[in-house]
Chains A and B, each alone.
Chain A
Amino acid sequence: MNHLSNVVIPLGALLIGSRGKVTELSGDQHDLETSDRIDRLREIGFSEGLDVELLHQSPFGKDPIAVRIGAMTVALRRSEANLIKVQVI
């Protein structure tokens, strides 16, 4: 997977078992609902510079996913996860 390192992709596009570093939390700046979702992601523990790892995915349609973020594990849907951009490592 060497060719993929340093590429920045949405967290929801990360493959199971692979890891990355959060570069930013971003979405449509003017959409109130999106900025609210980003706040929620921050509150539950997502933050720039933290390591993430996609640990598990739902048996049905591979959504939601469970990711390790820092010292915790958080389950979320891919649509929200896509607001988080990660640099693949």
Chain B
Amino acid sequence: MSSPHLVAVVGNPNCGKSALFNALTGLRQKVANYPGATVERRTGKVLHHAEIELIDLPGTYSLTPRSPDEAVTQQVLAGTHSIERKPDAILCVVDATNLAQHLRFVLELRGLGLPIVIALNMIDMATRERIAIDSKLLSEKLGIPVIETVAVRKKGLPELTEQLLHVINVGAPSCADYGDSLKQRQKAARKIAADVTLSEGIGHKTTRILDKILLHPVIGLIILFTLLFTMFQAVFAWAETPMDMIEAGIGGLQEYFANTLPDGFLLSVLNDGILSGVGAVVVFLPQILILFFFILILESTGYMARAAFLMDKLMSAVGLNGRAFIPLLSSFACAIPGIMAARSISNEKDRLTTILIAPLMTCSARLPVYTVIIAAFIPDKTVGIGIGLQGLVLFSLYLAGIVAALIAAALLKRFVVKGTADTFMLELPKYQTPNLRFVLIGLFERARLFLKRAGSIILVSTIVLWILAIYPVAPEGADKPAVAYSFVGIIGGWLQNIFAPIGFNWEISAALVPGMAAREVAIAALGTVYSLSGSDEMLEVGLVTVLNNAWSLPTALSFLVWFVFAPQCLSTIAVARRETGGWKWPLFMVAYLFGIAYIACFITYQTASALL
């Protein structure tokens, strides 16, 4: 069979392009409602029509690229992209509620000489806003097939596929002259839009009302900070029950193995290695899903762009702009998508600065670490109405990362990546009710990735650590736990020379090494190390109680501070290398983060030791 026809899906940001791509291919693609959400290459074959392959290109307002992700769109369409072949046709997605603006881009695309089909999307929303468009007349005027679609309801999809196959066979529309300049195309687009629009519409009332509240100088800010605070409180409060259930399940399994298997190698690798290690991580799945749930909702409702607007002035104080807020907020879930989302920032210096500070945003993989230490050392009591002390400490840790990131940005902008501030221009999309299916698919995808990580990287490093932790075996008549004589004990002992001034014992020092594979492995590693040094106690009371007995409060605080600042996992460093095109900046990132982590921990540990 010959290779399928390649069709590029293009359009302005916020036209529902990714949703249409999803509906056509049945592929799971992240759908977000802020400009520049599509940063990865996504392709998929049309359902029931494998002869058409779609490629979802980043949303753009024109063919003059303004940012790295827009450059991808321009290169693919021009056939100059390094890996992508030139598409056979264009599927241009047009927002029916904003016709004149989107048509200007259609006129520009028409100059490429490729066959085009227009999806007049969100036609249901247009009807609700009492906008009436004569799509047949529009099709005649443009000489291009126009199909009315509602991506989320799968309306118009068979017709769309049919027209795509049709235009691929008959070829591009004949040339039409709409002028060379932007201004001329704007004029032509306005003329066509006015001709085919039967009724102007009343605008999106809900958006206007909501913006009056959500962008209010006082109420809007209170809502933004309340939202962020609620998000972090919920991470603790909502996750409690499912976490208890998972913990009980793992405990039950360990007990079952302890009772049925003979003492020895197999029991130890199962209970002390795999279940202690992987179990210590899997238990955080509910918290990570809650965090992602909030971020997905904020993205898909269109609120994220408002948050960027509210934050722009603060960001400009440190030399960035409000746009950087979006990748930075995504970094709370994971620094990797955050660093990649920085592609939508047009100014190269701003983009670099955003990448360098993204790891200071507390990613979800650090939640397990924070949770265990907070549960072990911070009393579970309330301070004021509905505010738990544990939640408050967690919030402060996040805040510490944010403040450090802002200071780092200001310093980097001033001394390292010198450059002028970028402009800030951002469309505030209409508010939309989040599509529950897309949110659930997004969560499912996160859960799958997390469990896959737990099943691969974390499982392997846990087993390797377990082996290093039991060999070599302790000499006869040893007075310390066996693990102290193992490779882990030896390596931990070396590292302790570096980390003793910040209060880390050899167990912690040893756990930091596998923690570079993935943040949460540090907790798994502590689980394994402590499980081996006193496995009976560990089985009965769990890691939280063990740590509470083994560490002093200054050590615990220092450990928390370490995780706020310390260089991130290897995947983050790898993605920073890819996105900055070399080793210079990732190495700089590791060095400066290590530096502030060590200094901050030293101050924390020494101050806490002196005071307590």
Contact = CB atoms under 8 A, between A and B. Distances in A.
A7 B428 CA distance: 28
Contacts of A72: 98, 101, 427-428
Contacts of B599: none
Nearest to B426: A75
Interface string A65-87: 01000111111110110000000
Contacts of A76: 423-426
B441 interface: no
Given A70-B100, A80-B425, A60 B309 contact: no
B381 interface: no
Interface string B410-433: 000000000000011111100000
Contacts of A60: 313-314
A64 B309 contact: yes
A58 B312 contact: yes
Q: Give chain B's interface secondary structure class.
A: helix
A40 B422 CA distance: 13
Contacts of B259: none
Contacts of A40: 66, 423, 425
Contacts of B348: none
Q: Give the most central of A44, A57, A66: most B CB within 10 Å.
A: A44
Interface in A50-68: 55-61, 63-64, 66
A43 B61 contact: yes
Give the interface size bracket for B toward A: 35 or more
Contact of A73 (B183, B207, B216, B424): B207
B98 A66 contact: no
A57 B309 CA distance: 9
A57 B217 contact: yes
Contacts of A39: 62, 64, 182
A73 B211 contact: yes
Contacts of A80: 423-425
Residue from B100, B201, B428 whose CB has the most chain A CB atoms within 10 Å: B428
Contact of A59 (B190, B220, B427): B220
Interface residues of A, number: 31
Contact of A75 (B208, B314, B428): B428
A88 to B, nearest CB: 21
B62 A43 contact: yes
B187 to A, nearest CB: 8
Interface in B31-73: 61-62, 64, 66
Q: Which of B98, B187, B425, B426 is most buried by chain A, counting CB atoms within 10 A of its CB?
A: B425
A60 B380 CA distance: 37
B221 interface: yes
Nearest to B101: A45
Give the one of A48, A70, A75 with max B CB within 10 A: A75
B186 A75 contact: no
Given A40-B66, A58-B312, A58-B313, A74 B426 contact: yes
A48 B183 CA distance: 9
In this complex, the member of B182, B190, B201 whose beta carbon has the largest number of chain A beta carbons within 10 angstroms is: B182
Interface of B: 61-62, 64, 66, 97-98, 100-101, 182-183, 186-187, 190, 201, 203, 207-208, 211, 215-218, 220-221, 305, 308-310, 312-314, 316, 322, 423-428
19 contacts: A43-B61, A43-B66, A47-B186, A47-B187, A49-B190, A55-B215, A58-B313, A59-B218, A63-B313, A66-B215, A70-B98, A71-B201, A72-B101, A74-B427, A76-B423, A77-B312, A77-B316, A80-B423, A80-B424
Interface of A: 37, 39-45, 47-49, 55-61, 63-64, 66, 70-77, 79-80
Given A45-B101, A59-B220, A72-B101, 11 more contacts: A37-B423, A39-B182, A41-B425, A43-B64, A47-B186, A47-B187, A59-B217, A64-B322, A72-B428, A75-B425, A75-B426
